[in-house]
Structure 1
Amino acid sequence: MSVLLTTYQHERFIADALEGVVAQRLDGPWEVIVGDDASTDRNREIIRDYARRYPDLIHTHFPERNLGHGGRPIFAQMVERARGDHLAVLDGDDYWTDPRKLARQSAYLDAHPGCAMCFHDVVIHWEDGSAPDSRSTRRWEPRRFGLRHLLGSVNIAACSPMFRRTALAPLPEWYRDVIWGDWQLYVLAAQHGWIGYLPDAMAVYRVNDGGVTWADDGSVVERARRVVRFHGELAGRFDARLDRVFARSRSKALFELAAAQAAAGDDGGARDSLARSLRAYGPRLRPRDARRLLLRRSIGRGPHR
């Protein structure tokens, strides 16, 4: 079992993350690799202190310079260094709350050989108090997921997954340049088996000014553009038999972008995104795609309300 804790400029939070890790109760051997991407605050100092206190458990991975790309290159290095058959991941500004989290997930993978990755619910906590705490994943979600679920509406917080090492290692070269490092990992895992869901909340995902979330890009239109880019990045990087699945997910993302642009009064952009949406899934228009035609007809009548 290997825990991969990736961190950068997290001096306010890293102690909570490490406390949640060292509190884990496991029967077998395990290791913790803490990778700091050349922070300039006290992050490394705090990590070194924990490494001194737990020398047989915590190992540091400190590159001499910042590797950038949203932490994806340093994470790839940590995956290569990991020795465990199961890989649990965590960012330095989140923390685990259940001391049996790792044991439960590892037992789940052992009991289900066809499962490539499992995750659990988490509490979403806004540090500035701008929103109440909430749960990441609806409790009525199915307990097993496939690729179509990942490209749909399921939410998987980055502090919750545990992977089989064989589902990730080695990470492909293109991984360092993707827009969201976590979701591509889930898609990679889905090529090796199904994804399991444990409904209990066993971690806290912080939303703070030092973190990066998919929703940090300001306007609804900009967020929609990032979703389109994410779906576009999947094409040509996996089994060719999945191209149609990816094309459909990108078509849906382009439609959502068109709707956002239309609502913002950008009729020209909406028309272009809608046309790309229809092209992305091929020339055949299915009945459920009729709403796209309705949107196309409404463009040009002014901002939507």
Structure 2
Amino acid sequence: MNNFSLSVVMITYGHEKYIREAIEGVLMQNCNFEIELIIADDCSPDDTESVVQNIIKSHPKGNIIKYIKHQKNKGMMPNFNFAIKAATGKYIALCEGDDYWIDPLKLQKQVNFLETNIDYIMICHGIKELKNDTLKDVDWRFDKTRLKFRLQDYLYQLFFHTSSVVFRNIELPEYINSTKILNGDYAVFSYILTKGKLYYFNESMSVYRIHLGGVTNSPLHKEGIKVFESKKYIFEHLNAITKFKYNKFIKLNFVIENQILLMNLRKNRYSINRFKYWFYKLQYKFLLLFEK
């Protein structure tokens, strides 16, 4: 065994139907290094805990699971921060309780890359999307020929899923713990990418499950004003931390987010805000090409 380890962080709430598949995707990993699986249960109202405890007791690798159930519901962001802070590994991988991994060599492939490419701080891969019992490959990259990305690329478009990510375990800034942040993974990934580059494995090694109980389908996620304010808060801190190194990208992204908010509020597909949105997106894309 190598002398480094990896922490898998799994937050869960009400995932009784799905969490067994999520856990088994982690326990099937074939690695030459030690891993721990941290499951942070945000006081699930269903039998999620029974499913987890049964796996801990019956599975040959059940001993690598560190299960914590909060006595009161913290909310997604505080629970996510709690779980990240509990991670002790050199690397961190993410898999929420309703997603799952399908490649037993996923972690080994990703860690091998990070071990031999020190200028990369994070690695992700392609995914499959599961919706209404239909499984299909999806690729969210704006440029499907590229494998190497930077912070400004991520700010332009969210092109990877949390279940695909492995990153170096670095100390995160205090602002990420703020209750003003609605989308925790966005805050974490954008900060991490100020420290290094991202590599994309062109393989589908995990499944993103879309269902009515998922976070991206919850009413909270659809409250555009809260999402806008959350990103504004993140942008302000990114600028401060990087001494405005990415300011032109952040300013343009802020304008784009403002157009998205206006479109959502007016619920008008063909409003002037939609034309402005595409105009600013085009500006951003040209800026990326110029910076490449």
**Shorter-normalised TM-score: what interval?**
0.7 to 0.9
When the two chains are superposed, the root-mean-square deviation of aligned CA atoms in Å is 3.2
> How far apart are the structure 1 equivalents of 2:248 and 2:259?
17
Q: Return the TM-score normalized by structure 1.
A: 0.77
Q: 5 Å matches for 1:12-31?
A: 12-31=17-36
**1:260–1:33 distance in 2 versus 1, CA, 3 Å:** closer
Contact 1:234 1:246 survives alignment (8 Å): no
- CA deviation vs aligned residue, 1:23-60 (integer Å, no higher than 9, x gap): 10011111111111110100011111112233431111
Task: Quote the residue 1:56 is aligned against.
Answer: 63
Question: Quick one: which amino acid aligns to residue 235 of structure 2?
Answer: A
Task: Quote the residue 2:254 is aligned against.
Answer: 250
Question: Quick one: which amino acid aligns to residue 234 of structure 1?
Answer: I
Contact 2:121 2:196 survives alignment (8 Å): yes
- CA deviation vs aligned residue, 1:105-132 (integer Å, no higher than 9, x gap): 1111111101111111100111x35x76
1:92 equivalenced with 2:119 (yes/no):
no
Contact 1:87 1:162 survives alignment (8 Å): yes
Task: Quote the residue 2:235 is aligned against.
Answer: 235
Moved more, 250-259 or 103-112: 250-259
- CA deviation vs aligned residue, 1:124-183 (integer Å, no higher than 9, x gap): 111x35x763414348241111111111134111211111001x5465454443121111
> How far apart are the structure 2 equivalents of 1:107 and 1:265?
45
Contact 2:180 2:233 survives alignment (8 Å): no
SS in 2 for 1:197: strand
Q: How many residues align?
A: 269
Q: Return the TM-score normalized by structure 2.
A: 0.81
**1:224–1:40 distance in 2 versus 1, CA, 3 Å:** closer
Task: Quote the residue 1:109 is aligned against.
Answer: 114
SS in 1 for 2:73: coil
1:200 equivalenced with 2:203 (yes/no):
yes
**1:58–1:260 distance in 2 versus 1, CA, 3 Å:** closer
Question: Quick one: which amino acid aligns to residue 121 of structure 2?
Answer: A
**1:27–1:120 distance in 2 versus 1, CA, 3 Å:** same
Choose the corresponding residue for 1:46, options 51, 76, 79: 51
Deviation at 1:266, TM superposition (A): 9.8
> How far apart are the structure 1 equivalents of 2:140 and 2:185?
16
**1:218–1:47 distance in 2 versus 1, CA, 3 Å:** closer
Choose the corresponding residue for 1:67, options 66, 74, 82: 74
SS in 1 for 2:10: strand
- CA deviation vs aligned residue, 1:264-304 (integer Å, no higher than 9, x gap): 2897x959xx7xx9xxx9xxxxx959xxxxxxxxxxxxxxx
In the alignment, structure 2 segments of 5+ residues that lack a partner are: 1-5, 285-292
In the alignment, structure 1 segments of 5+ residues that lack a partner are: 282-286, 290-305
Choose the corresponding residue for 2:130, options 125, 129, 138: 125
Contact 2:172 2:188 survives alignment (8 Å): no
SS in 2 for 1:236: helix
Deviation at 1:217, TM superposition (A): 5.4
Deviation at 1:208, TM superposition (A): 0.3
Moved more, 109-118 or 135-144: 135-144
SS in 1 for 2:63: coil
Choose the corresponding residue for 1:34, options 22, 32, 39: 39
**1:153–1:90 distance in 2 versus 1, CA, 3 Å:** same
Task: Quote the residue 2:193 is aligned against.
Answer: 190
